[in-house]
Structure 1
Amino acid sequence: MVAPVTVARAQGLFNLAGGLWPLLSLRTFERVYGPKTDDWLQKTSAGLLAVSGMSMLRTAATAEGVRAARRTGVGTAVTLLAVDVVYVPRGRISPAYLMDAAKEIAWLTAWFKAGRLSRNGYGTGGHGAEERGAGDRGVVGAGADDRGAGDRRAVGAGAEDRGAEGQVASHASDPRLLDVYLNDHLAGASSGAALMRRAARAHRGSPLGPQLEELAEEVRQDRASLRGTMSALGVRRRPSRAALGLVLERAGRLKLNGRVFSRSPLSDVVELEAMRLGVEGKEACWRSLRTLARTDPRLDPVRLDFLIHRARRQARALESMRASCVPHALTTR
């Protein structure tokens, strides 16, 4: 896994180069991304991007430095990605900007993968882990010396018997993982709610319309339930994750499914499949929380049982709609 400080400096170099390009050679930039109406506006945005990149390139290898770079990097990537996926379909900017959209998704993915390191330390490439490891070895060694050779052999044998299972249990007991888990599901809920609303609008006036509108309202309520659960557990919501989910949902609209100027029948099948998968993931989240409710009084088992039942009903309804759309969209002849 790449350290967060490395991601910050790499994205900084990328943004610095991207910002300097139109400043140094607007003509070659326009050959790739199309002509610009207002050169001054392009150069202004390029200058801001270059300054942002220069700041990230100088990210300090400290916890605060990485947090600041993460905010800048994720914010920049989400903003540029949103512009690309909104204005390319409208014909306001060149389709070449879809290449930039793919790059911004790559940076967001890199930050997402590096997020765990930034929460565990600076992300400077393992120095923090080495220091912690040395400290842990010192404590274990001192304790072993006090216990004597016999105890050391017993401890060693116990560690060997536990093996990988003990390591998994140790990692699973980290309470910070619940933060990651629930924020990931909240991002998925935001994306799923947006997709459900769009599908309901697309089918307004059709037999599927009322069902999708009802499901869209239920999904909205489910997302509110997840937010309430996170508040009850003291899990802080991370808006950048939810924003990423919405941006990726918009990016999915660029898939044409065989049609350019009208909605493809295949879109109905693909979107209903995506919604069903999302609902099944949501059910898994409720079931995980239901397991935790056995020992955590902050979680309401009755409410979670209701949410699990509702998710299963939603999945059955979506599957029924998907099956009804398949004959209209697909054929073997």
Structure 2
Amino acid sequence: MPVTQEQADWFSGAFERLVDNIDQAILGKKHSIRLVLTAMLSNGHVLLEDVPGTGKTVLAKALANTVDGTHSRVQFTPDLLPSDVTGVTIYDQSKGKFEFHPGPIFASVVLADEINRASPKTQSALLEVMEEAIVTIDGVGHPVGEPFLVIATQNPVEQAGTYTLPEAQLDRFLIKTSLGYPDHDTTVSLLMDSSNRARASSIKPIIASESVVMMSQLASEVHVDAAVMGYVSQLVSATRVDKDAALGVSIRGALALARALKTWAISQGRTFVTPDDVRELAVPVLAHRIIVDPESEFAGVSGADIVSRAIVEVEPPAYRAA
């Protein structure tokens, strides 16, 4: 059923209220907050590549409090086991049967801190739940519920003792972004309020979890013209044949961009997707899925450069409203 303009206006207003509420804890980072909310409402996950102390944990807690959901934080270390994340089945002698004890992955917003410090075996424990929102233990599937968002972080500076995220893991993240350091005025505001060490805890819920699920369903109904989808396909194809790319964007990446575009468009109060939306989201959704040729990477070329080049080279379709 097509989205009406009235529904788009309601969605846009609710989206901005969510952004403003979270911004009380993470000052001056509204664009990053919008990207994280877009991922959540598109049933995706977020990879934050940032130096320590930029507010990643605060963002996750503020988001969970805003949507009246649960929050958990997992500090990934080399000795972390998959069962420490997903949970484990333990035999209850008094009841004479095995019972499942859920792990921290069973929360509305899960912060996987420094995910690249865990072993590949532990990292792989997230593959199923990030794709299907189900954890399978001893052959039994356990749904994690809705909404469900994994915010994983990794430090781009300190790489000693880390394990590079495999391509399959990176492909599970809808968006990769960063918070970065605040500007001067925001830094001054934070310093003036330095005694407040629980900014996220003061964030009050403004929307029920059920309403977040409804917003997600509404976003999935946004109209996308075939010409815009053709534009997405051409951009993805361009990354695969780029001279600096060892591996371009997969079809999963193209599908992820298609989902994110719908959410982004309706968050702007529109019932349809435009080529401008594609250009806005192409880098945060596609860049981290590209494997850059080693020699090109050594020369300073990044996945974002390849996506940006594709945006310049591929002609966008003529603008047409729904």
Q: TM-score, normalised by structure 1?
A: 0.24
Q: TM-score, normalised by structure 2?
A: 0.25
Which structure has the greater CA radius of gyration?
1
More helix by percentage: 1
Tell me: higher relative CO, structure 1 or 2? Use CA pairs within 8 A at least 6 residues apart: 2
